[in-house]
């Protein structure tokens, strides 16, 4: 494909214009799929820069946001630069597309795959159906079951109600998207249904644990990936993307909270009096529930099989830090354990991405979910619905502090993991060259 450019000259080696256009188009299409698979902007740009440098186009200019990607290449003697622009539409995560596009870039770089075949496979990847371990329609309910168990919802009726609410909410989500309404409208509607259905059933006499039923069903909708992407972009000096992802995470959490508030208000209006409590979950049960929840969601997002077990292990290790530092672990909002646990998740995710040559957000975006303070957010919205402003302020302030601690810990862990991986690679390379 051509040798890497001589960095000392700053000029790329000559190559036919047609070949350059095909390479740039391939890179742009791969980057588009990576961005649409919900990876961070900075990770995508870093990957494309490494690819373009490897194929002799290292002086190309790149720019990306959550809605577009632009690659432009110019060298002395050209009248105009060759520019490729792609519109980006971020939808539900498709992690197999992210990993597949990354792998194709690797294969073109090392010469193991011809460019024309790589272009064909990339096009097929974009239009291929989801290739998860099993059907997402089964994976999402499995994830919900895990999260309900995580919140001490082993009661059979509680599990059934959470699954029933999930089954009712999924068609509503699809309907909103089909009508072309904003995604936040779907988030609000789903949260309302997931909170209202258990409240209505409890009001008519069904004996269930409201908190685990509602929050367990809401866990797959928590903005863990947006939070991770915002932190990664912030570390990589991509402030606009970081702020954009951060606002998206906050907006998603806000609309989830408003939906919960409306759903809980229905129960309060019917005279339902419920005091949330998740402090009795045994540690072993919480670890099993979190692992099942993470596994189900990873499958629903079509995570490649080789990354499933590392992701589950990272999530379990992160939650074990919290479980070993607080008694009881679930429901306590002391922020230091969450900061340390998020640091572990970030560091382990960065090391796993270096080991398996993939994006760190594949691991951390899912593994962080057990730490996300979904139950305190629910407690605050329930207190608002019951007009208990003091309890609401306490729960929501706990939620904000814990979320901030998670973001800071994640940033520290990612930076530490990346630096550790870089140092390890240098040591290995020096050892290899010395032999």
Please report, for the chain, the start and end positions of each structural domain, with discontinuous segments joined by +. 17-127, 136-422
b or e along 314-337 (b: 16 or more beta carbons within 10 Å of the residue's beta carbon)?
A: bbbebbbbbbeebebbbbbbebeb
The whole-number average pLDDT for the span 293-311 is 91
User: Is the confidence at residue 267, as pLDDT, over 80?
Assistant: no
Tokens of 376: 């305190």
Cis before residue 410, ω within 30 degrees of 0? no
What are the CB-based long-range contacts (under 8 Å, 24+) for 167-170?
167/141, 168/193, 168/197, 169/193, 169/194, 169/217, 170/140
d(CA 102, CA 96): 10
User: Is the confidence at residue 272, as pLDDT, over 70?
Assistant: no
User: Is the confidence at residue 431, as pLDDT, over 90?
Assistant: no
The whole-number average pLDDT for the span 348-368 is 87
Helix, strand, coil percentages, rounded to 5, for the chain? 70, 5, 25
User: Is the confidence at residue 14, as pLDDT, over 50?
Assistant: no
When comparing pLDDT for 267 and 302, which is higher?
A: 302
Confidence of residue 2 (pLDDT cuts 50, 70, 90): very low
- Measured in degrees and rounded to the nearest 5, phi and psi for residue 71 equal -125, 130
pLDDT confidence of residue 121? 94
Most confident of 6-10, 37-41, 254-258, 269-273: 254-258
Give the H/E segment covering residue 87. strand 82-87
Answer whether 402's CB lies under 8 Å from 333's CB. yes
Q: Any idea which residue has 């939808």 for tokens?
A: 91
Strands (E), 156-272: none
d(CA 349, CA 420): 12
d(CA 431, CA 435): 6
d(CA 161, CA 153): 11
Answer whether 214's CB lies under 8 Å from 141's CB. no
Confidence of residue 7 (pLDDT cuts 50, 70, 90): very low
Question: Residue 83's beta-bridge partner residues?
Answer: 72
The whole-number average pLDDT for the span 284-290 is 90
Tokens of 146: 């895990």
Confidence of residue 423 (pLDDT cuts 50, 70, 90): confident
3-state secondary structure of 60: coil
Question: Residue 71's beta-bridge partner residues?
Answer: 62, 84
Tokens of 148: 């309900």
Calculate the average pLDDT of the chain: 82
Tokens of 106: 């690797």
pLDDT confidence of residue 154? 79
The whole-number average pLDDT for the span 294-308 is 90
User: Mind listing the pLDDT tens digit for each residue in 55-100?
Assistant: 888 889 998 887 889 999 987 777 788 899 999 887 777 888 888 8
Question: Cα angle vertex 3, ends 113, 79, to 5°?
Answer: 105
- Measured in degrees and rounded to the nearest 5, phi and psi for residue 6 equal -80, 110
Task: Report the share of the chain in percent with pLDDT over 90.
Answer: 26
Question: Cα angle vertex 338, ends 330, 43, to 5°?
Answer: 125
pLDDT confidence of residue 130? 65
From 181, 326, 334, 364, select the one nearest 255 (Cα to Cα).
Answer: 181
pLDDT confidence of residue 104? 92
User: Mind listing the pLDDT tens digit for each residue in 177-221?
Assistant: 788 778 888 889 999 999 999 999 988 888 888 888 888 898 888
């Amino acid at each position: 494909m051509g040798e890497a450019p001589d960095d000392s000259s700053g000029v790329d080696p000559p190559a036919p214009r047609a070949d350059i256009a095909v390479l740039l188009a391939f890179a742009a299409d791969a980057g588009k799929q990576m961005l649409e698979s919900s990876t961070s902007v900075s990770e995508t740009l870093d990957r494309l820069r490494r690819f373009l440098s490897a194929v002799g186009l290292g002086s190309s200019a790149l720019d990306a946001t959550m809605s577009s990607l632009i690659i432009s290449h110019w060298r002395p003697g050209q009248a105009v630069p060759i520019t490729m622009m792609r519109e980006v539409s971020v939808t539900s995560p498709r992690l197999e597309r992210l990993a597949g596009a990354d792998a194709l870039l690797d294969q073109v770089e090392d010469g193991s795959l011809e460019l024309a075949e790589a272009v064909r496979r990339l096009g097929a990847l974009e239009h291929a159906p989801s290739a998860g371990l099993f059907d997402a329609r089964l994976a999402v309910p499995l994830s919900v079951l895990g999260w309900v168990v995580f919140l001490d919802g082993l009661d059979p009726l509680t599990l059934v109600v959470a699954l029933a609410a999930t089954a009712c909410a999924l068609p509503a989500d699809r309907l909103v998207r089909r009508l072309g309404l904003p995604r936040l409208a779907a988030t609000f509607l789903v949260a309302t249904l997931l909170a209202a259905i258990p409240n209505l059933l409890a009001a008519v006499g069904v004996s269930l644990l409201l908190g685990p039923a509602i929050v367990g069903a809401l866990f797959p909708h928590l903005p863990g990936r947006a939070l991770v992407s915002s932190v990664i972009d912030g570390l990589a000096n991509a402030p606009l993307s970081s702020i954009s992802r951060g606002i998206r995470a906050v907006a998603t959490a806000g609309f989830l909270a408003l939906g919960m508030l409306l759903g809980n208000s229905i129960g309060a209006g019917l005279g339902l009096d419920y005091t949330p409590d998740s402090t009795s979950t045994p540690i072993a049960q919480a670890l099993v529930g979190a692992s099942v929840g993470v596994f189900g969601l990873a499958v629903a997002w079509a995570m490649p099989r080789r990354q499933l077990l590392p992701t589950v292990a990272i999530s379990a290790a992160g939650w074990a830090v919290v479980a070993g530092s607080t008694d009881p672990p679930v429901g306590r909002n002391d922020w230091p354990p969450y900061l340390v646990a998020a640091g572990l998740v970030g560091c382990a995710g960065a090391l796993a991405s270096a080991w398996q040559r993939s994006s760190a957000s594949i691991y951390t975006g899912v593994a962080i979910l057990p730490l996300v303070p979904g139950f305190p957010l629910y407690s605050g919205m329930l207190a608002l619905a019951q007009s208990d402003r003091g309890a609401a302020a306490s729960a929501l302030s706990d939620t904000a502090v814990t979320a901030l601690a998670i973001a800071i810990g994640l940033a520290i862990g990612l930076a530490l993991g990346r630096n550790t991986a870089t140092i390890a690679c240098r040591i290995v390379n020096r050892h290899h060259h010395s032999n």
